[in-house]
A and B are shown apart, each in its own frame.
Chain A
């Protein structure tokens, strides 16, 4: 079930919310949590009921493993606890690799012998990449002693809570479960949480239905063409920029909706995006893009690899390896491998440059005088260039795209809008016609560069068990207008265009 579908918005959500409130009021929070788990499993099963068994099986095994780790810790047997943890991580990675990488590995292996792989591509159970990370984090948290209440209902809720189940934000057990106590969570009694949640949801719907899906119309056909041939230079630039915006609006929309939905139930989820295209460097970009993934990789991969504790060389190596694995996590393909390697290399260069600047006061003085806008534009272009690898269905397509991007004047020019006819321009914009591509991209760029992000706009503090700020009447009215207008436009668009899946469902 998609957040941007009528059945979710007008059937699943109202029923789930109503029963949640009823259960909380009459039977207490534990009953309400039980209901939320059940609703979340239904939400998941609607896609493909067969994968519910995979999810539940994996949840059961992980819960049992978590119990073993905690028991070993209680017995002060650290070695045993570590072995259980490693067994758990191994199990989770095996499941993930089995579904995600088996075909890729076999295809490459058999390609060496010019033969076809003996199996067809495996259909990836939805959410497996995100859920696997959360389960691994739980096992590590158990080992570290960060889990104080190992409870089946809590664990089920932590893994399956539907707003974040499919595509994050990647949530940690401790901050989420800390919010399941009535006496500690002020949001359960706060109407502002519902209001802010609804506003998040409306803004997210707008971003997805109107901005992301419109950008897709200028990206997808060109990337499709690149499967077969080199597109025109202008078309390739348009597609690269449109895809960069599509991916941001799409994924951040999902995160906004997830945060909004969770707030409506009285829970806070971490912020996942903070205006990433306003980043002034690649390092800054990764502090703003898919922030919960970056945190996870830092805490559970980069630091265990040694982090920055063993000198500059190993620090850079660990950083590069972390980014490489981040690339592979996104998909089984050489393009994702290269995308990770490219970002790892850019991060290394960025860190190295900082190192150089630290050693030269004169250079630093010149560097600091450069306008931030220049850094923002250069960073964005670098990131956009790398997204080509991320979006291209294979390496040959990526090659075609890069060839076209490096020759901006090649191929035929795209049609231009008759600017003197405003009504025609408006129609072209609304119909996302071919000639309105640059207009849509300009609007998208203006939004990501000049407007506050949703977290800023709605003054969202993700700290658990901290009340949502009180809203003045004026602010309530402003939020109401924003939510009403965004919701109306999103629903209008959804009524005339079929709902599309979120891009990160593929990962």
Chain B
């Protein structure tokens, strides 16, 4: 029995140590899969850092990269607007952390966060693990030992092997995503109807309704993270305004009881966390013809209409907790 337990535990430990050593060896080793996000963030962070006056920062996943016209918002606010939105796949903790690193007192954060992010309890997914280990060692070092272990456990074997290879890194210059398709404020370019591929159209045709309502009723969600974020913003004199995300409309959202409870109750739920929430989610669900390649990405002409609706809400906004800025 002793020999069995000893060899079983030893084999397990040796493999675990090898795994961890492999991760140590590849920290900062670039991967092709993380490059477009890196390019996009570098572009946006440089744009934000170049402004010394109070700014408006758009914080969300890629729905806002495609769906927000920062120029229109700049005209409305008469302040520089930087669109920091890149990819919801990075998860709520990482997206919030990036904004924390960039925001300064006096800034406004406009947050049209994807519904999936409100439901993100913070478990690291393969995408953020790939990105952080390859590109953001500051964030990696900011994690607790336990979180680093969770990242190590969540790293896929193929990604582990890929990182060990230390392959050469080169910027993304083609395809829909990347800094090459961002304007100076960080908004997506080249998203006109003419630029849609057959694959983009097909992907939208098969897009199914999400089950956020059910998830919200059964999962922990990211509410605590949002509450902490609200407290951080308040302590740093940063005004956060949450607004609905863009979403392809499905009939289910009007008929499913759990969905109705979630979408109609979301503004009040966000308010309770100490954040201002403008608008109703249902008003920002659009038909298929508005979208570019996914059910969260608008075409350029639809972005203008959507941003105009957001501005109308901002104009009608009452004096709020973080004052009318």
Residues of A within 8 A of B (CB): 191-192, 194-195, 198, 423, 426-428, 430-431, 471, 473, 476-481, 483-485, 487-489, 492-493, 495-496
Q: Is the CB of A430 within 8 A of B11?
A: no
* Chain A-chain B contacts (Cβ-Cβ < 8 Å), number: 78
**In the complex, what's the smallest C-beta–C-beta distance from A502 to chain B, in angstroms?**
23
Q: Which of A191, A430, A471, A473 has the most CB of B within 10 A?
A: A430
Cβ-neighbour of B3 out of A430, A473, A492, A496 (below 8 A): A473
Q: Is the CB of B156 within 8 A of A484?
A: no
Q: Is the CB of B126 within 8 A of A430?
A: no
A483 proximity list for chain B (CB < 8 A): 4, 8, 11
Starting from the known contacts A476-B3, A484-B12, 4 additional A-B residue pairs (CB-CB under 8 Å) come to A427-B158, A427-B161, A492-B19, A496-B126
Q: Is the CB of A471 within 8 A of B4?
A: yes
B10 proximity list for chain A (CB < 8 A): 480, 484
A480 proximity list for chain B (CB < 8 A): 3-11
> Can you spell out 10 A-B residue pairs with CB atoms less than 8 angstroms apart?
A194-B1, A423-B165, A480-B7, A484-B10, A485-B11, A488-B11, A488-B15, A488-B16, A492-B19, A496-B157
**In the complex, what's the smallest C-beta–C-beta distance from B234 to chain A, in angstroms?**
37
| B18: nearest chain-A partner, CB-CB | A488
Q: Is the CB of A496 within 8 A of B156?
A: yes
C-alpha spacing A428/B155, complex, angstroms: 16
A471 proximity list for chain B (CB < 8 A): 4
B1 proximity list for chain A (CB < 8 A): 191-192, 194-195, 476
Query: Contacts A480-B11, A485-B15, A488-B11 hold; do A431 and B6 have CB atoms under 8 A apart?
Result: no
C-alpha spacing A194/B8, complex, angstroms: 13
| A426: nearest chain-B partner, CB-CB | B161
C-alpha spacing A487/B8, complex, angstroms: 9
Q: Is the CB of A484 within 8 A of B161?
A: no
**In the complex, what's the smallest C-beta–C-beta distance from B123 to chain A, in angstroms?**
11
C-alpha spacing A479/B5, complex, angstroms: 9
Q: Is the CB of B8 within 8 A of A484?
A: yes
A481 proximity list for chain B (CB < 8 A): 7-8, 11
C-alpha spacing A130/B9, complex, angstroms: 36
| B7: nearest chain-A partner, CB-CB | A480
C-alpha spacing A233/B3, complex, angstroms: 51
C-alpha spacing A495/B150, complex, angstroms: 9
Cβ-neighbour of B154 out of A191, A198, A488, A495 (below 8 A): A495
Query: Contacts A431-B158, A484-B10 hold; do A477 and B4 have CB atoms under 8 A apart?
Result: yes
Does any Cβ of A come within 8 Å of B153's Cβ?
yes
Q: Is the CB of B12 within 8 A of A195?
A: no
Residues of B within 8 A of A (CB): 1, 3-12, 15-16, 19, 126, 153-158, 161-162, 165
B165 proximity list for chain A (CB < 8 A): 423
| A192: nearest chain-B partner, CB-CB | B1
Query: Contacts A194-B1, A195-B1, A496-B126 hold; do A484 and B158 have CB atoms under 8 A apart?
Result: no
C-alpha spacing A237/B238, complex, angstroms: 60
Cβ-neighbour of B7 out of A427, A477, A492 (below 8 A): A477
C-alpha spacing A484/B6, complex, angstroms: 10
**In the complex, what's the smallest C-beta–C-beta distance from A192 to chain B, in angstroms?**
8
| B5: nearest chain-A partner, CB-CB | A480
**In the complex, what's the smallest C-beta–C-beta distance from B93 to chain A, in angstroms?**
18
C-alpha spacing A191/B1, complex, angstroms: 6
A492 proximity list for chain B (CB < 8 A): 19, 153, 157
Q: Is the CB of A423 within 8 A of B11?
A: no
A194 proximity list for chain B (CB < 8 A): 1
Q: Is the CB of A484 within 8 A of B9?
A: yes
A428 proximity list for chain B (CB < 8 A): 158
C-alpha spacing A490/B6, complex, angstroms: 19
C-alpha spacing A495/B12, complex, angstroms: 15
A479 proximity list for chain B (CB < 8 A): 4, 7-8
| B1: nearest chain-A partner, CB-CB | A191
C-alpha spacing A261/B165, complex, angstroms: 40
C-alpha spacing A428/B161, complex, angstroms: 10
Query: Contacts A423-B165, A496-B126 hold; do A484 and B11 have CB atoms under 8 A apart?
Result: yes
Query: Contacts A430-B156, A430-B157, A431-B156 hold; do A488 and B4 have CB atoms under 8 A apart?
Result: no
C-alpha spacing A195/B5, complex, angstroms: 8
C-alpha spacing A198/B7, complex, angstroms: 13
C-alpha spacing A477/B1, complex, angstroms: 9
| A423: nearest chain-B partner, CB-CB | B165
Q: Which of B1, B3, B4, B156 has the most CB of A within 10 A?
A: B4
| A489: nearest chain-B partner, CB-CB | B15
Q: Is the CB of A496 within 8 A of B4?
A: no
| B152: nearest chain-A partner, CB-CB | A495
C-alpha spacing A480/B154, complex, angstroms: 25
B7 proximity list for chain A (CB < 8 A): 476-481, 484
Q: Is the CB of A496 within 8 A of B155?
A: yes
| A432: nearest chain-B partner, CB-CB | B158
| B126: nearest chain-A partner, CB-CB | A496
| B153: nearest chain-A partner, CB-CB | A495
| B19: nearest chain-A partner, CB-CB | A492
| A474: nearest chain-B partner, CB-CB | B3
**In the complex, what's the smallest C-beta–C-beta distance from B167 to chain A, in angstroms?**
9
**In the complex, what's the smallest C-beta–C-beta distance from A444 to chain B, in angstroms?**
18
**In the complex, what's the smallest C-beta–C-beta distance from A292 to chain B, in angstroms?**
28
B162 proximity list for chain A (CB < 8 A): 427
**In the complex, what's the smallest C-beta–C-beta distance from A220 to chain B, in angstroms?**
17
C-alpha spacing A426/B160, complex, angstroms: 11
C-alpha spacing A241/B19, complex, angstroms: 32
C-alpha spacing A20/B324, complex, angstroms: 64
Query: Contacts A195-B1, A477-B3 hold; do A487 and B161 have CB atoms under 8 A apart?
Result: no
Q: What are the 5 closest A-B residue pairs judged by CB atoms, nearest first?
A: A480-B7, A484-B11, A431-B158, A430-B158, A476-B3
**In the complex, what's the smallest C-beta–C-beta distance from A187 to chain B, in angstroms?**
14
**In the complex, what's the smallest C-beta–C-beta distance from A353 to chain B, in angstroms?**
46
B5 proximity list for chain A (CB < 8 A): 480
C-alpha spacing A134/B11, complex, angstroms: 40
A477 proximity list for chain B (CB < 8 A): 3-4, 6-7
Q: Is the CB of B158 within 8 A of A198?
A: no
| B159: nearest chain-A partner, CB-CB | A431
C-alpha spacing A481/B15, complex, angstroms: 11
Q: Which of B3, B9, B156 has the most CB of A within 10 A?
A: B3
Query: Contacts A427-B161, A477-B4, A480-B3 hold; do A496 and B154 have CB atoms under 8 A apart?
Result: yes
A430 proximity list for chain B (CB < 8 A): 156-158, 161
**In the complex, what's the smallest C-beta–C-beta distance from B218 to chain A, in angstroms?**
14
C-alpha spacing A414/B265, complex, angstroms: 48
**In the complex, what's the smallest C-beta–C-beta distance from B134 to chain A, in angstroms?**
15
A195 proximity list for chain B (CB < 8 A): 1, 4
C-alpha spacing A263/B165, complex, angstroms: 43
C-alpha spacing A489/B156, complex, angstroms: 11
Q: Is the CB of B12 within 8 A of A476?
A: no
| A428: nearest chain-B partner, CB-CB | B158
C-alpha spacing A430/B22, complex, angstroms: 16
C-alpha spacing A191/B2, complex, angstroms: 10
Q: Which of A192, A478, A487, A496 has the most CB of B within 10 A?
A: A496
Q: Which of A431, A492, A493 has the most CB of B within 10 A?
A: A492
